[in-house]
Amino acid sequence: SYVLTQPPSVSVAPGKTARITCGGNNIGSKSVHWYQQKPGQAPVLVIYYDSDRPSGIPERFSGSNSGNTATLTISRVEAGDEADYYCQVWDSSSDRWVFGGGTKLTVL
């Protein structure tokens, strides 16, 4: 089955840039979606189709995907960005959605 690997945690100072990676075999050939989840809340879609932003998501959130790594980039990080972030892909070989293990973003 397809596996997505994320770092358990990423720390960044306010105003700096955070990069959260999502590794998978030839993930560049798949469409990657990203979700933000704050404690006690449901996940929120922040990036879809590798780099598209839903309405209402700040331009500070961007995404890229190539080779074996997809990346969620958060520019000018704010305290309110502190959350867990999950990547997701559709595994067409097994007809299953797959989530990464999640990355806890800490704003220092």
Partner 1 sequence: EVQLVESGGGLVQPGGSLRLSCAASGFTFSSYSMNWVRQAPGKGLEWVSYISSSSSTIYYADSVKGRFTISRDNAKNSLYLQMNSLRDEDTAVYYCASQSPAFDYWGQGTLVTVSS
Residues forming the site for partner 1 (CB under 8 A): 1, 31, 33, 35, 37, 42-45, 48-49, 54, 84, 86, 88, 95-102
Task: Return the number of the residue (15 or 97) whose C-beta is nearest partner 1.
Answer: 97
Q: 93 with 3: CB under 8 angstroms? A: no
- Selection from 57, 59, 74, 60 nearest residue 21 by Cα: 74
Supply the minimum distance, in Å, between the C-beta of residue 106 and partner 1.
17
Task: Give residues with Cβ within 8 angstroms of 81, minimum separation 6.
Answer: 18, 36, 74, 105, 107
Task: Return the number of the residue (38 or 76) whose C-beta is nearest partner 1.
Answer: 38
Query: Cα(first)–Cα(last) distance of the chain, in Å?
Result: 36
Supply the minimum distance, in Å, between the C-beta of residue 13 and partner 1.
26
Per the document, the length of the chain is: 108
Supply the minimum distance, in Å, between the C-beta of residue 88 and partner 1.
7
Task: Return the number of the residue (15 or 27) whose C-beta is nearest partner 1.
Answer: 27
